C-alpha cells in the first residue's frame, strides 16, 4: 500500500532536503557504499535513498538508524536544544498549559 504523501511547507521541505544531503555527504566522506549503510541500518537501499533525498515519509527511526551507522547518532540531541523562545517564556513565568485544550466534536 503506497504511503500518503506528507505535505510540508517549502521551508520545512528545504530543511529536510538539506538534512538528507548532509547524511549523504557524511556517508561518502566515510567511503561507505549505500548498500553497506542500508545493511548495517537494517533498512532497504530504497529507504536509504529516500533519507538522502530528504523524504518526509521515512520515520525518524530510519533517520536515526542511519545516523547511528555513521557514528552521528548523538547529533539528534541538538534538535531543540537551544530553545530561546521556551526559555523566554519560562523566564517571564508565563503559564503554559501542559496539554492542548480538547477540541469540541462540533468543529
Has residue 35 been placed in a domain?
A: yes
Has residue 92 been placed in a domain?
A: no
> Are the C-beta atoms of 43 and 66 separated by less than 8 Å?
yes
Has residue 106 been placed in a domain?
A: no
> Are the C-beta atoms of 51 and 66 separated by less than 8 Å?
yes
11: Cα within 13 Å, side-chain hemisphere? 0
What is the reported pLDDT for 85?
86
Which domain range does residue 20 map to? 10-73
Has residue 51 been placed in a domain?
A: yes
pTM of the full structure: 0.76
Has residue 97 been placed in a domain?
A: no
Has residue 95 been placed in a domain?
A: no
Q: How many domains does the chain have?
A: 1
What is the reported pLDDT for 3?
67
Calculate ∠ Cα 11-99-81, nearest 5°: 50
What is the reported pLDDT for 90?
81
Q: Could you tell me the CATH number of the domain that includes residue 67?
A: 1.10.260.40
Per-residue pLDDT of the chain (107 residues; tens, 9 = 90+): 666 777 889 999 999 999 999 999 999 999 999 999 999 999 999 999 999 999 999 999 999 999 999 999 999 888 888 888 888 888 887 555 677 777 877 65
Has residue 49 been placed in a domain?
A: yes
Amino acid at each position: 500500500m503506497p504511503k500518503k504523501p506528507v505535505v510540508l511547507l517549502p521551508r520545512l521541505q528545504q530543511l529536510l532536503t538539506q538534512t538528507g544531503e548532509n547524511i549523504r555527504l557524511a556517508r561518502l566522506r566515510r567511503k561507505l557504499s549505500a548498500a553497506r549503510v542500508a545493511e548495517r541500518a537494517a533498512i532497504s537501499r530504497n529507504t536509504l535513498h529516500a533519507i538522502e533525498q530528504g523524504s518526509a515519509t521515512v520515520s525518524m527511526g530510519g533517520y536515526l538508524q542511519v545516523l547511528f551507522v555513521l557514528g552521528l547518532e548523538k547529533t539528534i540531541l541538538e534538535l531543540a536544544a537551544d530553545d530561546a523562545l521556551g526559555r523566554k517564556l519560562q523566564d517571564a513565568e508565563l503559564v503554559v498549559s501542559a496539554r492542548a485544550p480538547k477540541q469540541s466534536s462540533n468543529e
